[in-house]
Amino acid sequence: MSLHQLAAALVFGLCTLSAPAFANPVEDRSIRPFKIQVPQTALDDLRGRIAATRWPDRETVGDQSQGIQLAKIRPLVEYWGRAYDWRTAEAKLNSLPQFMTTIDGVDIHFIHVRSKHPDALPLIMTHGWPGSVLELLKTVGPLTDPTAHGGSPEDAFDLVLPSLPGFGFSGKPTEIGWGTERIARAWAELMKRLGYTEYVAQGGDWGSPVSNAMGRLAPAGLLGIHVNLPAVVPPEIAAVLATGGPVPAGLTGKERTAFDALSMAAKMGNRSYATMMGTRPQTIGYAINDSPAGLAAWMLGHPGFSGWTYDDSDPEKSPDEVLDDITLYWLTNTATSSGRIYWEYGGGRSPVFADPEKTNEVSLPVAITVFPGEGYQAPETWARRAYPNMIYFHEVDKGGHFAAWEQPELFSAELRAAFRSLRQRN
Is 127 one of the catalytic residues? no
Query: Distance between CA 27 and CA 344 in Å, rounded?
Result: 24
Tally the C-alpha atoms within 13 A of residue 92's C-alpha that lie toward its C-beta.
Answer: 18
Sketch the per residue contact string, 187 through 206, with another protein: x for CB under 8 A, - otherwise: --------------------
Query: For another protein, which stretch binds (CB under 8 A), given 8-16, 92-100, 120-128, 370-378?
Result: 8-16
Task: Reply yes or no on whether 397 is catalytic.
Answer: no
Contact pick of 5, 24, 66, 363 for another protein (by CB under 8 A) = 66
Q: Provide the minimum distance between the beta carbon of 169 and another protein in the complex, in angstroms, as a whole number.
A: 15
Quickly list H helices, 112-252: 140-144, 180-193, 207-217, 235-243
Least Å from the CB of residue 67 to another protein: 3
Give one DSSP letter per residue of 265-287, joined into a string.
HHHHTTTHHHHHHHH-HHHHHHH
401 catalytic per annotation: yes
Q: Does 264 bind another protein (CB under 8 A)?
A: no
**Between 60 and 426, CB nearer to another protein:** 60
Q: Using alpha carbons, select from 129, 342, 344, 382 the residue that is nearest to residue 238.
A: 382
CB 329 within 8 A of CB 86: no
Q: Is 180 in the site for another protein (CB under 8 A)?
A: no
Question: Which one of the spans 9-17, 113-121, 144-152, 373-381 is the region binding another protein (CB under 8 A)?
Answer: 9-17
3-state helix, strand, coil in the chain (%, to 5): 50, 15, 40
297 touching another protein, by CB under 8 A: yes
Q: Judged by CB, which is closer to another protein: 98, or 291?
A: 291
Q: Beta partners for 122? A: 158
Intra-chain end-to-end CA distance of the chain, in Å: 41
Buried b (16+ CB within 10 A) or exposed e, 3-34: eeebbbbbbebeebbbbebeeeeeeeeebeeb
Stretch that binds another protein, among 31-39, 67-75, 154-162, 380-388 (CB under 8 A): 67-75
Residue 415 is a binding residue for another protein (CB under 8 A): no
According to the binding rule CB under 8 A, does residue 238 interact with another protein? no
**Nearby residues of 180 by Cβ (< 8 Å), 6 or more positions away:** 206, 209, 210, 212, 213, 341, 344, 345, 351
Among 373, 366, 365, residue whose Cα is nearest residue 231 = 366
Measured from the CB of residue 348, what is the shortest distance to another protein in angstroms?
8
Which residue of 278, 319, 351, 399 would you call a contact of another protein, by CB under 8 A?
A: 278
Q: Looking at 155, 158, 205, 325, which residue is catalytic?
A: 205
Give the residue numbers annotated as catalytic, written as ranges: 205, 342, 401
Give residues in contact with another protein (CB under 8 A). 13-15, 49, 52-61, 66-71, 73-75, 172-176, 242-243, 268-269, 272-273, 275-276, 278-298, 301, 333, 335-337, 340, 343, 347-348
